Amino acid sequence: MKNNVIAKNLTVVLAGSLLATVILAGCGKSTAKEPVAEDITITFMNQDETLGTVSAKAGEVLDAASYESYEATDNGEFNGWFETPTYLESSKKDLTTDTFTKDTTLYGDFRADEVAEDTRLWYVAGTSAKGSLALNNWAADLSDDEKAQFQLTPTGNTNEFSLSIDLYEGDQFQVIHDWSWDGQKGFGKFTDIDPEQMENAGGLGGTDDTANVQVKQDGNYTITLNTNPDNEAQDTLSVVRNSDPVTEAAE
């Protein structure tokens, strides 16, 4: 009889302990809180004009309906959203997939159908150990005839200029107008550039847009510039390798 009483008491104690464990576990589960995404603001700009803002949750893709009206343009073309006001290609955002973790300002690239004519003279300026840019020497004091070999000439398309030139490994260059460093255009302005052939060499400008381009592969290259005098942030460059160098390099 005594053993039966002890067994019953032990059963009650164990059952009570199990119940308490279940209750505590349930309480712990009910008090856990899911992390709440931070509220952020995305601001949309057209140059200096604020088009509007969108409130969103950090890490979530924006609802297209909240910003698509900001992409509308008359007599022109919308060319995407950028995190830099100079439309640096590496800062371009795809709002259908990209997300943001903090308040962000985006700059719209709106291309007008009609722009002012660019009457400036554009040149490649740089340096070289064995190519023609050795004479150039970063836009040194040259005669007009000497400058002509470095000039990008009109292609026939509106505000488009190009130059074919032999470049050699180690050469560095940028593009300037009127043989002046005011408004120089460097690595960050190239929207078409092969990383196997060219690389960012930095420079004194502080941004990729004014960084030197360094040649990694010898060749004859065509450099093409498209400009918009009404909004120079939209100026773009491309460089394409045509062949091996046309002329023999100096030793």
Which two three-digit tokens encode residue 172? 């560095």
Cβ–Cβ under 8 Å, residues 174 and 126: yes
Average pLDDT over residues 21-41: 64
| Residue 218: strand, helix, or coil | coil
pLDDT of residue 2: 46
**Does the pLDDT at position 26 exceed 60?**
no
Rounded Cα distance between 4 and 22, Å, is 27
Question: Residues 108-161: pLDDT tens digits?
Answer: 999 888 899 999 999 999 999 999 999 999 999 999 999 999 999 999 999 999
For residue 166, give the nearest of 116, 210, 115, 223 by alpha carbon: 223
CA 189 centroid distance within chain: 9
pLDDT of residue 248: 77
CA 1 centroid distance within chain: 86
| All structural domains of the chain | 39-112 (2.60.40.4270), 122-243 (2.60.40.3620)
From first CA to last CA, the distance across the chain in angstroms is 113
pLDDT of residue 22: 41
Cβ–Cβ under 8 Å, residues 18 and 82: no
Question: Residues 165-208: pLDDT tens digits?
Answer: 999 999 999 999 999 999 999 999 998 999 999 999 998 777 89
> pLDDT grade, residue 251 (50/70/90)?
low
